[in-house]
Chains A and B, each alone.
Chain A
């Protein structure tokens, strides 16, 4: 995944309200989402082969295929087809999946939480391990801990997630059998699904045993998924902190005789946290994408494994639905991070007041 170049820049207008910011972000996001729907619709329509025949299967007669073409509006001009598609989309109707023989919306509702659970946990690992590693690296700049961390983090971004996932399974499921390699929870445990997030549902149900089982299942895939993110976050934090270290107020703190530990925590880490956080919003895209590689290895019943299945089956409705929902998730995550940063970042607020 290409490393993100620029973080979202803070808005320069005065803080009339956070609301108006939110509103404008929402509008532009909707616009982009509309573009995404058009793009993915066009991709789905250039497929070689007849969608109607593919939908009906190899035994269908010519008449059946023709009837299906009518039903799917395939004989209409492409613009009209897109209008029909948008109409269905607004009614949350994404059609039937050939892969599962169920409405695509049902599949998405069922499988998205599993992926989000995995991605959130991976994101948590990315932040909670990546940032401290980066801080450590910056603090010991150019000394051996820095060299070691830099080397390791560079190594971690140098292989696709599936390589890490396979490596971990070999090491921690086969060689030293510490972890299960598949599934979300032990087969013998029944849990009433409420949110779809098993880590939440097991707590709601008051079942610590089930929670432990779910956690035990999610750790290895989440770690495999987060590895390159951890590296990315650590490298970024290091760069930002080094830039901060060179700033006057840190020099000043040093001059006043603050301990290196305090300087690192209070004056260097916190300010560099913000640019790092904004980038993590972008890294969310990498996590969502890499989930495709990790879910298939751990047989994780999420939207990404579903996505791989439908792509291999040329299941157009489901391909369109999956890509749309993943893009929407990514855009929403970015809005949240963006807002979060603008709320917690005192510098942006200060400068805005200053104007």
Chain B
């Protein structure tokens, strides 16, 4: 799965999950401190406890020593290896287990110092000064050699976010213990922002766990070797990753930060509902249906949203007739029912999972223009554009694919089928599993005409979104599955990479955005606001207060920034 897009993707199979036992039917008779001990379950043959059975309060026979626990969940299984992960859950794990040189800037765009105290840029040469007070969870001090090793490891494995640096970095060198020099092949403005994705691993620990030159990738998928605020206690792909706080972390945690975190996988809506109501779960995933989020809010949970630079795009295949004709594309875009779609994302009068878009760019990215009008449905203009289209739509049944793992997207597909038949299109809806879709989109000739995908900016830089989606040099992937070719746009995007002055870049990306709105290689459905239900008594500071929010999707769920009550 990828950044965000498909992860509505609880597996259709994992229909239920944890639930509480109630009315004192499952008391614990164990000695005090039962849940203080680590989870032995996963040593040995570890079968993993699945989620919770909750004790009806007051009946629990043995209140353990108070330990603050945070229980959150995510639909797809999280990948622990920072060199492989790309999903939302992977990001959450990476930022809690590892540190990066820079972090997305809090309450602002761009980046802020993290492991790096500062940096200097001389054309294509970036020199970072590192903090000297950081140690890995193993006790080893974090030095510039670890940064070099982490970069080499990422590129050697060649998965995860390595694409951000592919062909960009010429060399990385340590300069003493606490300075590191990146030499780029040519000036590349988005580079600094990309570094939020370079997690620094403990080179000594990783090398000690290598087998057959695998860069310890098997070991790293089960354990952590970072300097982050948490360390992996156990990891069971079917149930959860358990993490414990590292008291020596170099940043201050929030008041009543969680000492232990259970990051659960594949919990289903009814389970989350039941668990939260009984105090057995703290933060839901963002993939709950609006109905369930509304029910949770009604029963006392608060809803918070994260605008993670994510758009809900309906990618149009510009290489396949009739959508190779811009008029046909515009007809589809004008006929599109933005209003209804947004209405469907509304959870309560105050909270919604979507806000309208005015171009290809979500708010908060360089180039976003607040003056642009939002897209709206206009059937008259749609008919007009349809008349200009060179193709007879009757000849081309329109294939609309939706990702099988995200059942909510069927609604969008059904809506398009209903609407576009009014323009004379015959619409076939195809439910496609994500893995098959990623394979299908590599060939523009046979890729579907329309597919709905949520795509996030990987770094807090506009380039990480627009270049991947629309530059004609990009290989054909799900991100670039409109296969759009426009030399004018390519030139703007290329220039955006070389230009270092933010004001000039703002202008370049605003122009690019205007072209994209005009040429509609995609229908820009809405900007996705990830919505989480938070149990009463738990405070998700980063999302509760806009001034504390980090702009990139996933970077807010840093567990030590969350306040939880002590669990007995």
Contacts and interface: CB of A to CB of B under 8 A. Distances in A.
B2 A305 contact: no
Interface stretch (B27-35, B328-336, B551-559): B27-35
Contact of A198 (B22, B42, B47, B267): B47
A57 B262 CA distance: 27
A216 B22 CA distance: 12
B49 A59 contact: no
Given A53-B442, A195-B45, A296-B14, A48 B436 contact: yes
Interface in A75-131: 96, 99-103, 107, 109-111, 113-114
A182 B433 contact: no
Nearest to A307: B13
B58 to A, nearest CB: 15
Contacts of B81: 101
B218 A103 contact: yes
A313 B25 CA distance: 37
B345 interface: no
B238 A305 contact: yes
B271 A308 contact: no
Interface string B80-97: 110010100000000000
Chief secondary structure at chain A's binding surface = loop
Contacts of A56: 159
B277 to A, nearest CB: 11
B29 to A, nearest CB: 4
Contacts of A217: 53
A180 B13 contact: no
Given A49-B436, A102-B221, A189-B30, A312 B12 contact: yes
Nearest to B404: A312
A280 interface: no
B237 A186 contact: no
Contacts of A198: 47
B84 A101 contact: yes
Given A49-B439, A313-B435, A183 B51 contact: yes
Contacts of B39: 190
A10 interface: no
Interface stretch (A148-156, A207-215, A321-329): A207-215
A110 B28 contact: no
Interface stretch (A36-44, A171-179, A229-237, A281-289): A171-179
Contact of A59 (B12, B38, B159): B159
A216 B26 contact: yes
B79 interface: yes
Interface in B223-245: 236-239
B211 to A, nearest CB: 11
Contacts of A184: 47-50
Chief secondary structure at chain B's binding surface = loop
A202 to B, nearest CB: 11
A313 B404 CA distance: 11
A271 B80 CA distance: 57
Given A177-B21, A190-B34, A61 B237 contact: no
A180 B26 contact: yes
B23 to A, nearest CB: 6
Interface string B305-321: 00000000000000000
B49 A187 contact: yes
A193 B41 contact: yes
B372 interface: no
A190 B41 contact: yes
Interface string A295-329: 01111110001101100111000000000000000
A57 B12 CA distance: 21
Contacts of A196: 45, 47
B163 interface: yes
A181 B280 CA distance: 14
A185 B29 CA distance: 13
Contact of B435 (A49, A177, A186, A192): A49
Contacts of A213: 26, 28, 53
A102 B25 contact: no
Nearest to A166: B15
A103 B217 CA distance: 11
Contacts of A314: 433, 435-436
B395 to A, nearest CB: 26
Contacts of B79: 101
B30 A301 contact: no
B189 to A, nearest CB: 22
Nearest to A312: B11
Contacts of A61: 475
A305 B14 contact: yes
B18 A182 contact: yes
Nearest to A47: B436
B556 to A, nearest CB: 24
Contacts of B478: 58
9 tightest A-B CB contacts, nearest first: A183-B50, A209-B29, A100-B237, A181-B19, A58-B438, A308-B13, A299-B17, A186-B53, A101-B221
18 contacts: A58-B477, A64-B158, A96-B218, A101-B221, A102-B221, A110-B45, A110-B236, A111-B238, A181-B270, A184-B48, A185-B49, A186-B26, A187-B35, A189-B49, A193-B42, A196-B47, A299-B16, A299-B18
Interface of B: 2, 11-23, 25-30, 34-35, 37-55, 60, 64, 77, 79-81, 84, 86, 158-159, 163, 218, 221-222, 236-239, 262, 266-268, 270-271, 274, 280, 404-405, 433, 435-436, 438-440, 442, 475, 477-478
Interface of A: 48-50, 53-54, 56-62, 64, 96, 99-103, 107, 109-111, 113-114, 169, 173-174, 177-196, 198, 207-210, 213, 216-217, 296-301, 305-306, 308-309, 312-314
